[in-house]
Amino acid sequence: MHEHMPIDKALMILALSAYVVSALALIVYFFARDAWLRNLGVPLAIAGCIAQFAQLAARYELTHVWPLLNLYGSLSLFSALAVAIYIGFAFRYRLWFIGGFVIAMAALFLAYGVTWDEGTMPAVPSLQSYWAKIHVPLVVSSYAAFMVAFIVSALYLMKYYYENALEPAAEYAVEGGSLRAQRASVRLDTPNIAAAAAAGNPVAQWINAMPTLAQLDVLIYRIVAVGLPLLTLGVITGAMWAHDAWGAYWQWDPKETAALVSWIVYAVYMHLHTRNAWRGLRSAWVSVIGFLTIMFCYFGVNIWISGLHSYKV
Amino acid sequence: MALMRSFYADFTRTFGNVLFAVCLLIAWALLTLLGVLVEQGKDAGAYFSDYAAPLARLILRLDFNNVYHAPYYVGVIGLILLSLAVCTFKRVIPARLPPLRPMRIEKIPLNASIETRRSESDARSFVEAFFGKRGWQVRKREFGGVEWTFADKHNWARRGVLVAHVGFVIIAAGTTIYWARGFSGDAAIVSGQTVRIPYTATTIRLDRFAYKIQPTMTKSGIVYQPIDYVSGVTVTGKDRVPHERTIRVNHPIDVDGTLYYQANYGFAVRLRLSHRGARRTLSDGTYAIGDSFTLPGTQRTILLEQFVPTVDRRSREPSPDPRVNDPAVALAVQDHGEAVGTALVPLRATIDVGDGWRLALQRYLMISGLQYRYDPGVPLVGVGAFVLLAGLVISFYLLPARLYIRVEGAAGRSRIGIAATTVKGYDMFEKQFADLTAELREVT
């Protein structure tokens, strides 16, 4: 007897397949800048994202259990939101070039999430709350925003260090010859990369096609500006839920404190960004560290450290 | 006096410095992370079993087992509040956009020049109307006979940082109120028993406790998922009138301002002891799992190690099923502190524990673990959290900016020079400025 695949499984496979093809197309677009690759990759990313939201809705409809209460469900939402945030920023700020990296990471997280799928289980008493429908999406969406910020930060750092690694270009030479020597981490031009690109260096050509360091810095700031208020609201709603469920809005549970660490790191980012000398390179590093703390908070605490938030399956 | 003035200057310079605040935030983050990595609030022995002895000693001596309440942790938060206060008064409140004065427009990185066929006065009126319609606050000034137009947007949003700082202070005030006036604790109540809650006039009797387990087949096998814990209690508060209430996880009850939460559950057993056939009484005969007692006249101690809800009928070993079907209690017997044996004793069975003593497990009882908490600081913490959030949103999304506009006309044509400054540098406003000037260029 042939068994039909459940609709949620079919949608998950559809989403993963769309992401894989989209990521490949957009990564090649990053290097080749052929518009057709973007025109292929972006609709596929949108299709994958829609399929994922539909998958979550179908899972809820089939099981009547809120699908975000375990690592499988929350990772599914995480990757869908990362793609959604990317698409939003891409349309607003022409961020197509990072799409391949965002969607590849989203696909990896989604695939990892699938490995945690243990089937449907009823929610434990502490998770049977309307707060689950508010707190979890807020926190996960902040994680997704920070992932996009992390990718832009990584590209910023790549461009910055590549500029420093190149020989100073004679026709663009300025005093000091490199960004570090000029003590300016935010600037509009990367003369060494531009010169190398003009001379036919293929790596320099695709790095040069990225936005300027200053534009990347502003992009990171704008994405963190989405993530930090969401994380703050997520922590606040989590505290309100904890107040109902566990008797105290703050219990110093490992998940709470790890989220606090992430919040502090992004608060440091905000503070550093108020100073010209610390914008750019240093704040990009803080964004990278911030995302590492987010990953620790998300996976480290859920998987390795036991506490009130140990909801793996 | 001079010394005091110098000290004050040094103090405000240090505590008003953003990088000093950043250092404090990093210290706070590292200490908090330490508290995540080192399990908090365990017995000293637990650290010696988890870590090498020198590391365990370090953890205990430096209070790393209780980081969040250690003086240095509270001290760092105190310093952050101090830095925040100094920054607020020294930097945030005095911060203003530059005074209205003429600028060399082409020297400002964000500048544009727009040619128009309008006369100078017409162009000036048009520009003022253009920016006024878009929510800019337009002001005119004359300097040395030259008329300048200034347009400000979201000037008030410079206070976003101040709002965020105020939110942080309100949260700190709310938590301080709890430390000063609040209390919390746990109460484990055996079915049928009544407890008095410390610091309050409240008594709670546990009428019944029930838990529901749903066996669920997963890919890794069967999982016994708890889906409900519920306590039926009779609560007597200040009004001295008993009220029947139900406490569930996520559904605490409020008695005279103190909240009572369902936290956990456990088991107790009622025992009957006899010595050489004669019944002997020890307290009321009810013992919680984990309790121990010494048989009278002996050095023999009985420890109730574990309640086993279901014993596998075939193997007579504990089953993983947490539902009570065929219960038993794992007992450990010690004599003069030395373990002499263990046994899994079914309910309603009798066991010989030596020296003529026999022990019968009569029945099991449920224990409901409740938490109670009186926290008068909660409303303040809630308000502070939302004020902090509002400050973040204002700081992030509303960019205070100023436009410097100069219109120069000659022979029926005019040139509109525009430059922009913001409190967050030029890059942040680059796109908006380009869009704005492109629109202006199009409509002029």
Q: Which of A63, A93, A122 is the endpoint of a domain?
A: A122
Task: Tell me, yes or no, whether A88 lies in a domain.
Answer: yes
Cα A118 from Cα B317, distance rounded (Å) = 27
Q: Do A115 and A143 share a structural domain?
A: no
Q: What span, in angstroms and rounded, lies between the C-alpha atoms of B285 and B322?
A: 24
Determine the distance from the C-alpha atom of residue A73 to the mean position of all C-alpha atoms in its chain, rounded to a whole number. Answer: 17
Residue A193 in any domain: the answer is yes
Residue B197: band (very low, low, confident or very high) from pLDDT cuts 50, 70, 90: very high
**A92, A244, A310: best to mutate for the B interface, most B CBs within 10 A:** A244
Residue type, A298: Y
Partner A contacted by B431 (CB < 8 A): yes
Distance from C-alpha of A3 to C-alpha of B129, rounded to nearest angstrom:
69
Say whether B261 and A247 touch across the interface (CB within 8 A).
yes
Token code pair at residue B30: 């590292």
Contact A225 B227 (CB under 8 A): no
Do residues A257 and B39 make contact, with C-beta atoms less than 8 angstroms apart? no
Indicate whether A8 and A156 sit together in one domain. no
Instruction: Indicate whether A160 belongs to any domain.
Output: yes
C-beta of residue B318 within 8 angstroms of C-beta of residue B324:
no
* Predicted pLDDT of residue A88: 94
CB nearest to A124's CB, from B225, B248, B373: B225
Q: What is the ipTM of this complex?
A: 0.85
Which residues lie below 8 Å from residue A102, measured CB to CB, with a gap of 6+?
Answer: A82, A83, A86, A147, A148, A151
Burial A183-202 (b: 16+ CB within 10 A, else e): ebbbbeebbbbbbbbeeeee
Chain A touched by B195 (CB under 8 Å): no
Q: Which residues contact B233 (CB under 8 A, 6 or more apart)?
A: B189, B204, B205, B206, B207, B244, B245, B246, B247, B368
- Shared domain check, A85 and A11: yes
> What's the pLDDT score for residue B244?
96
Mean pLDDT within B126-132: 92
Name the residue in chain A with its Cα closest to that of B423.
A274
- Which residues of B are less than 8 Å from A274 in CB distance? 18, 424
Q: What is the dihedral of CA B218, B221, B227, B230, to 10 degrees?
A: 180
Residue A245: pLDDT band with limits 50, 70, 90? confident
pLDDT value for A309: 56
Is residue A278 very low, low, confident or very high in pLDDT (cuts 50, 70, 90)?
Answer: confident
Tokens of B297: 């006249």
Chain B positions touching A249 (Cβ under 8 A) are 375, 378, 381
Give the span between the Cα atoms of B238 and A56, in whole angstroms. Answer: 49
d(CA A257, CA A242): 13
Domain contains A58: yes
Q: Is B395 on the interface with A (CB under 8 A)?
A: yes
Please state the length of chain B: 444
**In a shared domain, residues A117 and A136:** no
Q: What is the pLDDT of residues A113-125, one digit of tens each?
A: 988 888 778 888 8
Q: For B334-389, what is each residue's pLDDT tens digit?
A: 988 888 888 999 998 899 888 888 999 999 999 999 999 999 999 999 999 999 99
Residues A192 and A143 in one domain: yes
A153 and A95 in one domain? no
Flag whether A127 is in a domain. no
Closest partner residue to B381 (CB to CB) among A229, A249, A267 is A249
pTM here is 0.87
| % residues pLDDT > 70 (chain B) | 99
Closest to B369 (Cα-Cα) out of B268, B261, B288, B290: B261
B208's tokens: 């019944």
Identify all chain A residues contacting B262, using CB atoms and an 8 Å cutoff.
Answer: 125
Residue B406 contacts by C-beta under 8 Å, 6 or more apart in sequence? B102, B105, B146, B148, B149, B416, B417
Q: Of B32, B220, B250, which is closest to A128 when you measure between CB atoms?
A: B250
Decide if A233 contacts A138 (C-beta within 8 A).
yes
Classified as helix, coil or strand, B224 is: strand
Tokens 């320099």 -> residue: A204
A62 lies in some domain: yes
pLDDT at B425: 81
Answer whether residue A238 is part of any domain.
Answer: yes
The pLDDT assigned to A175 comes to 46
Q: Give the 3-state secondary structure of residue B428.
A: helix
> In b/e form, how buried is each residue of A123-135, taking b as 16+ CB within 10 angstroms?
bebbbbbebbebb
- Residue A93: give the domain boundaries: 1-122
Question: Are A181 and A285 part of one and the same domain?
Answer: yes
Higher pLDDT, B430 or A120: B430
Q: What is the pLDDT of residues A163-212, one digit of tens each?
A: 988 877 655 444 444 444 444 444 557 888 988 988 888 889 888 888 88
What is the tally of helices (H) and strands (E) in chain B? 9, 20
Burial class (CB in 10 A: 0-12, 13-18, 19+), B317: exposed
Nearest to A264 among B25, B249, B250 (CB): B25
The residue from A57, A87, A122 where one domain ends is: A122
Interface test with B, best of A262, A274, A299 (most B CBs within 10 A): A274
- Which among A63, A91, A122 is the end of a domain? A122
- Which range among B38-47, B250-259, B410-419 has the greatest average pLDDT? B250-259
The residue count of chain A comes to 313
Would the pLDDT of B13 be above 50?
yes
Q: What's the 3-state SS for chain A?
A: CCCCCCHHHHHHHHHHHHHHHHHHHHHHHHHHCCHHHHHHHHHHHHHHHHHHHHHHHHHHHHHCCCCCCCHHHHHHHHHHHHHHHHHHHHHHHCCHHHHHHHHHHHHHHHHHHHCCCCCCCCCCHHHCCCCHHHHHHHHHHHHHHHHHHHHHHHHHHHHHHHHHHCCCCCCCCCCCCCHHHHCCCCCCCCHHHHHHHHCCCHHHHHHHCCCCHHHHHHHHHHHHHHHHHHHHHHHHHHHHHHHHHCCCCCCCCHHHHHHHHHHHHHHHHHHHHCCHHHCCHHHHHHHHHHHHHHHHHHHHHHHHCCCCCCCCC
pLDDT tens digits for range B266-293:
999 999 889 888 888 777 788 999 999 8
**Structure token pair of residue A21:** 């093809």
Q: Could B378 and A260 be called an inter-chain contact, meaning their C-beta atoms sit closer than 8 Å? A: no
State both tokens at B283.
């307290």
Closest CA to B175 of B60, B83, B78, B85: B78
Q: Are residues A111 and A158 in the same domain?
A: no
Same domain, A284 and A181: yes
Looking at the structure, do residues A171 and A31 belong to the same domain, yes or no? no
CA distance A191 to A250: 51
Q: How far apart are CA B225 and CA B317, in angstroms?
A: 21
B187-222 b/e (C-beta count within 10 Å ≥ 16 → b): bbbbbebeeebeebebbbbbbebebebeeeeeeeee
A-B C-beta contacts closer than 8 Å: 142
Contact assignment for A126 to B373 by CB distance below 8 Å: no
CA angle A270, A275, A276 (to 5 degrees): 125
Ranges of H-type helices in B270-423: 378-397
A42 and A176 both lie in a single domain: no
State whether B219 and A186 contact (CB < 8 Å). no
Mean pLDDT, residues B171-180 taken together: 93
Q: Which of B427, B429, B431, B435 to mutate to test the interface with A (most CBs of A within 10 A)?
A: B427
The reply to whether A104 and A137 lie within a common domain is no
Local confidence band at A286 (pLDDT 50, 70, 90 cut-offs): very high
Can you tell me the distance from the alpha carbon of A84 to that of A78, in angstroms, rounded to the nearest whole number?
Answer: 10
Whether pLDDT at B46 is above 60: yes
Residue A176 counted as domain residue: yes
Inter-chain residue contact B32 with A126, CB threshold 8 Å: no
User: Is the CB of B68 less than 8 angstroms away from the CB of A215?
Assistant: no
Which bin fits B411, alpha (ψ -120 to 50), beta or left (φ > 0)? left
Number of domains chain A is built from: 2
Question: Which tens digit of pLDDT belongs to each residue from B56-91?
Answer: 999 999 999 999 999 999 999 999 999 988 988 887
> Looking at residue A59, which CATH number applies to its domain?
1.20.120
Q: Are strands B203-218 and B221-236 parallel, antiparallel or unpaired?
A: antiparallel
A243–B378 C-beta distance less than 8 A? yes
**What phi, psi does A225 have (nearest 5°)?**
-65, -20
